[in-house]
C-alpha cells in the first residue's frame, strides 16, 4: 500500500510512524508512506498556504492552489483509489471502513488546518471525506495518523500474529473480551480460573461469552 499525506505542518506527522507497528510495516516495505509539505507548492512569495476568508470572520482558510498543485504532481506518478479529506463533518470512521481502506493500493490523505480548506477543494479535488469523531481537532494530521494506524495494522504481514487483528473489538460486531497476564494473583486480585485450565475450547467459549456480555453492556447497538 502507498499512502501520501498532504499537510502544511509535516512535523506533526513525524512521531506516529517512527515507532512500533507502523514503523515496522514501513521498514518491511509493506507500506510506503510519504508526508508532503504543502509550502513548496505555494506560488505565493512567502510560501503561504492559507489566506483570509472571503466575507470576513475569524480564522484562516487553506488555499486551493497549493493543494491542487500538490495533488496533481502526485497523480503524475500513480493512480489513486481515494483522495481523502480529513474533515469533522465527513463520513464517520469505523472498523468496517478501516477494513475497506486496508484493501486499497494508493491513498492520498489531505489534512486541513485553521478553518479548513477552500470549499472548492472539497467539491473538485477529493473523492471522499472522513471524520474520526464528532469533535473538532486543530488539524487533520492526528486524524490522518489515526486512520493510517488502524488501516495499516490490518494489512497481512504487519502484525506478527495475523489472527490478532481479527480478535480485536468490532471485527465480529463484538467488543473484545478481557485479557490478563502474569502474575495470576496480584494483591489477591485473581484472574478467572478458566484461563489457567489449559483447556483451549473452554477458554474460547469463555472469551466468546465475555465478549457477548461486554457488548451488551457497553455497545448494545453493535450487531454480531
One of 12, 25, 71, 86 touching ligand SAH (CB under 6 A): 86
- Chain-centre distance for alpha carbon 169: 16
- Name the residue among 123, 118, 141, 20 with its Cα closest to residue 66: 118
* Residue nearest ligand SAH (C-beta atom): 112
CB of 140 to ligand SAH, least distance (A): 3
Site string for ligand SAH, 39-78 (x = CB under 6 A): ----------------------------------------
> Is 132 a binder of ligand SAH (CB under 6 A)?
yes
Strands 106-110 and 82-92: parallel
- Binding segment for ligand SAH (CB under 6 A), chosen from 26-34, 45-53, 80-88, 174-182, is 80-88
12 near ligand SAH, judged by CB under 6 A: no
- The yes or no reply on residue 7 touching ligand SAH (CB under 6 A) is no
If one asks whether residue 115 binds ligand SAH (CB under 6 A), the answer comes out as yes
122 binds ligand SAH (CB under 6 A): no
Question: Quick one: which of 139, 170, 195, 210 contacts ligand SAH (CB under 6 A)?
Answer: 139
Residue 111 vs 165, nearer CB to ligand SAH = 111
Residue number with CB closer to ligand SAH (90 or 177): 90
Residue 135 touching ligand SAH (CB under 6 A): yes
Look-up of cell digits 497481512: 156
Closest CB to ligand SAH among residues 112, 177: 112
Question: Which residues would be at the binding site for ligand SAH (CB under 6 A)?
Answer: 86-89, 111-113, 115-117, 131-133, 135-137, 139-140, 143
Amino acid at each position: 500500500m502507498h499512502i501520501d499525506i498532504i499537510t502544511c505542518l509535516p512535523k506533526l506527522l513525524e512521531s506516529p510512524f517512527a515507532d512500533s507497528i507502523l514503523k515496522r510495516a514501513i521498514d518491511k516495505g509493506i507500506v510506503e508512506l510519504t508526508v508532503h509539505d504543502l509550502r513548496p507548492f505555494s506560488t505565493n512569495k512567502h510560501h503561504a498556504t492559507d489566506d483570509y476568508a472571503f466575507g470576513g470572520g475569524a480564522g484562516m482558510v487553506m488555499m486551493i492552489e497549493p493543494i491542487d498543485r500538490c495533488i496533481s504532481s502526485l497523480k503524475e506518478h500513480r493512480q489513486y483509489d481515494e483522495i481523502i479529506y480529513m474533515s469533522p463533518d465527513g463520513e464517520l470512521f469505523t472498523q468496517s471502513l478501516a477494513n475497506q481502506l486496508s484493501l486499497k493500493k494508493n491513498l492520498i490523505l489531505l489534512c486541513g488546518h485553521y478553518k479548513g480548506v477552500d470549499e472548492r477543494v472539497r467539491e473538485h479535488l477529493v473523492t471522499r471525506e472522513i471524520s474520526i469523531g464528532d469533535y473538532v481537532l486543530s488539524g487533520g494530521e492526528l486524524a490522518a495518523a489515526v486512520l493510517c494506524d488502524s488501516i495499516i495494522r490490518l494489512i497481512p504481514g504487519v502484525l506478527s500474529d495475523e489472527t490478532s487483528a481479527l480478535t480485536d473489538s468490532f471485527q465480529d460486531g463484538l467488543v473484545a473480551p478481557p485479557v490478563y497476564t502474569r502474575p495470576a494473583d496480584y494483591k489477591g486480585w485473581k484472574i478467572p480460573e478458566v484461563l489457567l485450565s489449559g483447556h483451549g475450547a473452554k477458554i474460547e467459549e469463555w472469551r466468546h461469552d465475555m465478549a457477548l456480555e461486554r457488548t451488551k453492556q457497553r455497545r448494545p447497538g453493535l450487531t454480531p
